[in-house]
């Protein structure tokens, strides 16, 4: 099952607060960052550790360190930018690769208009960030791009997923795991997740 609905009470509480209809831009941004931090924490739980010896106040001490993991965070423009600070709070050395995809509101298909990937993708874990997994069109297109660039460890973080998106991602990329704060009921005719959050990009950027 590539989509993992995180059950932590803090995640559930915060995603509930995000659903309030008249939430301010400031509050929406803050909560998006907080949930992104918690999703990043969950998605990195299997990173391997190694022991290194450190000169400690009490003498040489073996401490844990994450072993050889190079991470690139991949915000999908534009809404993915809203999750970037939260993920970087947890993984401050991560490099950033940007993908620009917009959804054609008539066809609901993703249109690719920008990409800027860091080097060495074959040796990196990619953490795609995009608040809403609706049809999974943008997510699958981003994963296709990363795979074409040689990336072998691809993970995704989304605030809310629709069952339709979960199925589409599972079908297209069963090797990619995606952590979400909620799997909601369904998509409406306009492609919005119900109950969802509304237009996450507009809420993060304050454009509506
Ligand atoms: N994008 C959004 O911002 N919201 C949805 O519900 C679906 C796609």
pLDDT digits (tens, 9 = 90+) for 111-135: 899 999 999 999 999 999 999 999 9
Rounded to the nearest angstrom, the distance between the alpha carbon of 88 and the centre of ligand 1 is 23
Q: Is the peptide bond before 105 cis (omega within 30 degrees of 0)?
A: no
Which of 77, 132, 186 maximizes ligand 1 atoms within 8 Å of its Cβ, making it the mutation to test the pocket? Answer: 132
The average pLDDT across 85-92 equals 98
- Does 1 have pLDDT greater than 70? no
Rounded to the nearest angstrom, the distance between the alpha carbon of 4 and the centre of ligand 1 is 19
Asked whether 76 and 138 are in contact (CB, 8 A), the reply is yes
What is the rounded distance in angstroms from the CA atom of residue 61 to the CA atom of residue 71? 27
- Does 104 have pLDDT greater than 80? no
138 CB neighbour count, 10 Å cutoff: 26
Q: Whose CA is nearest to atom 7 of ligand 1?
A: 192
Ligand 1: does its nearest atom lie under 6 Å from the Cβ of 193? yes
pLDDT in tens, 12-22: 999 999 999 99
- Does 43 have pLDDT greater than 90? yes
Token digits for 191? 């492609």
Percent of the chain with pLDDT over 70: 99
pTM, entire model: 0.95
pLDDT band at 103 (very low <50, low <70, confident <90, very high): confident
Fold for the domain defined by 3-44+70-205? Rossmann fold (3.40.50)
What is the rounded distance in angstroms from the CA atom of residue 106 to the CA atom of residue 83? 26
């Amino acid at each position: 099952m590539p989509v993992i609905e995180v059950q932590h009470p803090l995640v559930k509480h915060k995603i509930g607060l995000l659903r309030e209809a008249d939430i301010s831009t400031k509050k929406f941004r803050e909560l998006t960052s907080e949930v992104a931090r918690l999703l990043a924490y969950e998605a990195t739980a299997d990173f391997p550790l190694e022991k290194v010896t450190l000169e400690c106040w009490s003498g040489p001490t073996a401490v844990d360190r994450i072993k050889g993991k190079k991470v690139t965070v991949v915000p999908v423009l534009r809404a993915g930018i809203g999750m970037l600070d939260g993920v970087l709070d947890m993984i401050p050395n991560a490099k950033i690769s940007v993908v620009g995809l917009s959804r054609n509101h008539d066809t609901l298909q993703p249109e690719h208009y920008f990409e800027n990937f860091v080097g060495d993708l074959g040796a990196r874990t990619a953490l795609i960030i995009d608040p809403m997994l609706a049809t999974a069109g943008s997510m699958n297109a981003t994963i296709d791009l990363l795979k074409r660039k040689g990336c072998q460890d691809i993970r995704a973080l989304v605030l809310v997923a629709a069952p339709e998106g979960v199925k589409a991602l599972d079908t297209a990329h069963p090797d990619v795991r995606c952590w979400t704060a909620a799997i909601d009921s369904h998509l409406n005719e306009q492609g919005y997740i119900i109950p969802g959050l509304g237009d996450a990009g507009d809420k993060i950027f304050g454009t509506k």
